[in-house]
Structure 1
Amino acid sequence: MNIAILGYGVVGSGVARVIADCAEGRCLGYVKDLSVKAIVDIRDFPDDPNAHLMTKDASQVFSDPSIDIVVETIGGATVAYDFTKKALTAGKHVVTSNKELVSLHGAELLDLAAKNGVRYLYEASVGGGIPILRPLRRDLAGNRVERLSGIVNGTTNFILDRMEHGGIPFAKALAEAQELGYAEQDPAADVDGIDACRKLAIMASILTEEDIPDELIFTEGIRHLQSVDAVIANRLGYKLKLIAAMTRDQNDKLTLIVAPHLVGETHPLAGVHGVFNAIYVTGNAIGDAMFYGQGAGTLPTASAVVADIIEIATVPYHDACEEHWRPLSPDHLIKHEDAQVHAFIRLSSAVADRVMEALSDYEPRLAVTENSCQAIEVGRSVFLSEGALAAGLAKADIARDDYAVLRILPL
């Protein structure tokens, strides 16, 4: 099959490299006849071995009947959105690593693909090189997935690791991540939880077959965390992680959240370090399963893109290839303010009494003191909603920078 790559950056160049490796026999024998025919980018790469394939005119790709698959690795949701629609309308399969585009327009693009008898695949949009989306949709299709918890952003995992093991503040850990190339100069998408939120929206949409907008997911990043939070977590028998979580109750209603969580030291996610990712899934039939690996990088992400290409090249199109996300039924989501929470609140000793008083109806308990900070446990023995917790903290009238809610990830 002939392939065109739109965007020759970190991922696009990696895709070309992996396809070249396959052509030289460095993959399973049944993978044959994959060829990059065109590469579209607004930049010039005169010294690149694929320079002869370069063009700045994407319309050549859409009008070329010999091109079967378009790989979109442009990023963003403007040009990439326009080009993806043009490719699908032209009857070409599209493979992408673009989490922003899939989370915003996935339902529309999947419908457009089905209308034109082609496929829109996006394995690389979550978890980099980790096979997770295809297993969720296919291998676990016979399961009712009751819980999904993931470390799906390597940048924040690296930062929290450094805050724990290096005892350094957030700002210094972020600077290290930027120096090593793990974080962008504008790190907002990572450290504010936006990236993880988009990935959770995609996974939840697959599991529910409903289009779940990321703006409906409560999202809290790690900017407000301090190194003392990791110390407190360790003293309590936990590890501090940014977790993207979906929980399905007995009435089939979902709770969705991205926020710092305390993960029990014996939980498999507690051992995920550095820039690695992991997704922990609980199904009614399979029980517990974890998918672990490199969540970003040129070749890991390219590996996932090429896996989608191989799927298209080796599995003839049929009705079961179609994927649709229905409009979300509002009653399928539990509002964040109504969700149950069990957490430790880290705050300065000076304001601890005010918080204990404000949350007195929920049996707050002083759990640990570390230097000038205390951790108060709430929601352990009585039901506490996220809304009631927020109202109690507001009543205590403490500044946002003076506390952190460290939610406990259920076992």
Structure 2
Amino acid sequence: AAINGGASVVTANKALLAQDGAALHDAAAANGVDLAFEASVAGAIPLLRPLRESLAGDKVVRILGIVNGTTNYILTRMDESGADYWDALAEAQALGFAEADPTADVEGLDAAAKAAILASLAFHTRVTSADVSAEGISKITKTDIDAARAMGHVIKLLAVAERSDDGGIGVRVNPAMVPRTHPLASVRESFNAVFVEAEAAGELMFYGRGAGGVPTSSAVLGDVVALARNKVLGARAPGESVYAHLAISPAGSARSRHYISIDVLDRAGVLAKVASTFAEHQVSIETLRQDGRGDDATLIIVTHMASAADVAQTVEALRALEAVRDVATVMQVIGE
């Protein structure tokens, strides 16, 4: 209503932008007004304006983002203090970092809306939250945390937007193992960070407080001042740039190394059957470790590069094996 009435609008509503952003941008252009939304992703971090303006002449290849402070706080506590998921969540709620109903945060829905906004800006196309495959952190266990540490990695909930081999783009949110040498690995507690890879600019990271009323107000006020300046000068902010019209690649086409935790019966021949199942689905095992506990054991497997679809088919076949009690966790492993 405000836009159609000829008023510029500042919003931090990422869910609205990720779902109905196209209609809002079209209405703003039709009415000759501005739509500003810097605060919709990563709070106080100056991020969207650099993506839209500073990198306008470059080609963004990939974005990796820690864009949800609640989940990053929970994973930090699990990694640093040994807390389990539920204790870490309760602590986050007590400190005000998590809502009473944390579903949107812990299941990746909040991050998915932000991923859609980032992908739209970075790749000059229109991406909605419906285009983003989302997986949360509620199934992450102490076994996963310990395995990541033993590998020299840390688990983070990542928003990923990247160019695909098929010419489209892949956009997803999922927990992933990040090498401790990667800049994102040092992002602790409720802080946010977005790591951008571009052809000419190379690697860039934007870091800061991504949530909370005060940090968000900084970004909102920045937009208000920018719009006021434009009005005084009789100018407009850069509008939506959607010249690319890129297709969304299937989630299963994403390729990476994968971490897989499998609970099995500890008896002769089980390893051979598990290894054979991987081979039958053209998924190569890079490393395998077995932790025994009486009659049961946990197999910690890291694969070579494989598509998510091939790994999913492998997991389905593993679950059908008599000796496999459960495939507890499947997680992507990010490179250096």
TM over 0.5: yes
Aligned match for 1:261, one of 176, 182, 196: 176
In 2, distance between residues paired with 1:117 and 1:226? 51
Amino acid at match of 1:174: L
Task: Indicate if the aligned counterparts of 2:43 and 2:219 stay in contact, CA closer than 8 A.
Answer: yes
Q: Report the secondary structure of 1:136's partner residue.
A: helix
- Alignment CA distance shift 1:402-1:129 (3 Å): same
Residue in 1 that maps onto 2:289: 368
Say yes or no: does 1:174 pair with 2:89. Answer: yes
* Structure 1: gaps spanning 5 or more residues: 1-85
Shift in Å, 1:305: 0.5
Equivalent position to 2:98, from 157, 175, 183: 183
Deviates further, 210-219 or 263-272? 210-219
Q: Is the 8 A contact 2:319 2:326 kept in 1?
A: no
- For 1:212-223, list aligned pairs within 5 A: 212-223=127-138
Match of 1:357 in 2: 276
The answer to whether the aligner puts 1:404 opposite 2:329 as a matched pair is yes
Letter in 2 for 1:405: V
Contact between 2:264 and 2:325, CA under 8 Å: does it hold in 1? no
Cα deviation, 1:366-397, whole Å, max 9, x if unaligned, reads: 433456533101134xxx22111111111112
1:167-224 deviation digits (Å, cap 9, x = unpaired): 1211111111111111111111000000111000001011222221222222110111
Contact 2:195–2:203 (8 Å) recurs in 1: yes
Equivalent residue number for residue 257 of structure 2: 342
Contact 2:177 2:333 in 1 (8 A): yes
CA shift, 1:406, in A, is 2.1
For 1:379, the equivalent position in structure 2 comes to 304
Query: Which of 302, 306, 328 does residue 221 from structure 2 map onto?
Result: 306
Tell me the distance in 2 between the aligned counterparts of 1:310 and 1:250: 41
2:47 maps to 132
Q: Which residue of 2 aligns with 1:22?
A: none
Distance change in 2, residues 1:369/1:251 (3 Å): same
Q: Contact 1:118/1:317 (CA < 8 Å) preserved in 2?
A: no
Say if 2:112 is the partner of 1:197: yes
Would you say the 8 A contact 1:232–1:370 is kept in 2? no
Give the AA of the match of 1:359: F
Deviations 1:89-138 (A, max 9, x none): 11111000111011011111011011111101100000011111111001
Aligned pairs for 1:263-278 (under 5 A) are 263-278=178-193
State whether residues 107 and 136 of structure 2, in contact with CA within 8 Å, keep that contact through their aligned partners in structure 1: yes
Match of 1:394 among 307, 316, 320: 316
2:239 pairs, out of 313, 322, 326, with 322
With normalisation by structure 2, the TM-score equals 0.89
Which secondary structure state, in structure 1, belongs to the residue aligned with residue 6 of structure 2?
A: coil
Q: Provide Cα deviations, 1:133-154, integer angstroms capped at 9, x if missing partner.
A: 1110011111100111010001
Q: Give SS of 2:160's match.
A: strand
Deviation at 1:358, TM superposition (A): 2.1
From 66, 91, 109, give the equivalent of 1:151.
Answer: 66
Matches for 1:278-297 after TM superposition, within 5 Å: 278-297=193-212
Question: What is the aligned residue count?
Answer: 321
The 1:247/1:400 distance shift into structure 2, 3 A limit, reads: farther
User: What letter corresponds to residue 231 of structure 1 in structure 2?
Assistant: D
Q: Distance in 1 between matches of 2:80 and 2:37?
A: 35
Q: Which residue of 2 aligns with 1:96?
A: 11
Aligned with 1:312: secondary structure?
helix
Cα 1:337/1:251, change in 2 over 3 Å: closer
After superposition, the C-alpha distances for 1:220-248 in whole angstroms (9 at most, x for unaligned) are 10111102211111110111111111121
Q: Which runs of 4+ in 1 moved over 6 A?
A: 398-401
- Contact kept in structure 2, 1:233 and 1:262, CA below 8 Å: yes
1:239, 1:255 → 2: CA distance?
Answer: 23
Paired with 1:129 and 1:319, the residues of 2 have a C-alpha distance of: 23
Aligned partners of 2:155 and 2:253: how far apart in 1?
24
Query: Structure 2: which 5+ residue stretches go unaligned?
Result: none
Letter in 2 for 1:357: S
Once residues 260 and 327 of structure 2 are traced to their aligned partners in structure 1, the CA distance between those partners, rounded to angstroms, is 10
| d(CA) in 2 for partners of 1:130, 1:281 | 14
Equivalent position amino acid for 1:387 in 2: A
Letter matched to residue 386 of structure 1? A
Look at both structures and tell me which one has the larger radius of gyration over its CA atoms: 1
Contact between 1:196 and 1:244, CA under 8 Å: does it hold in 2?
yes
In 1, Cα distance between equivalents of 2:70 and 2:206: 18
1: CA distance between counterparts of 2:300 and 2:16? 40
C-alpha distance in 1, partners of 2:206/2:55?
13
- Report the TM-score when normalising by structure 1: 0.74
Residue 206 of structure 2 aligns to a residue whose secondary structure is strand
1:355/1:392 contact within 8 Å kept: no
- Measured after TM superposition, the shift of residue 357 of structure 1 is 3.0
Q: Taking structure 1 as reference, are residues 309 and 244 closer, same or farther at Cα in structure 2, changes over 3 Å only?
A: same
Q: Aligned with 2:228: secondary structure? A: helix
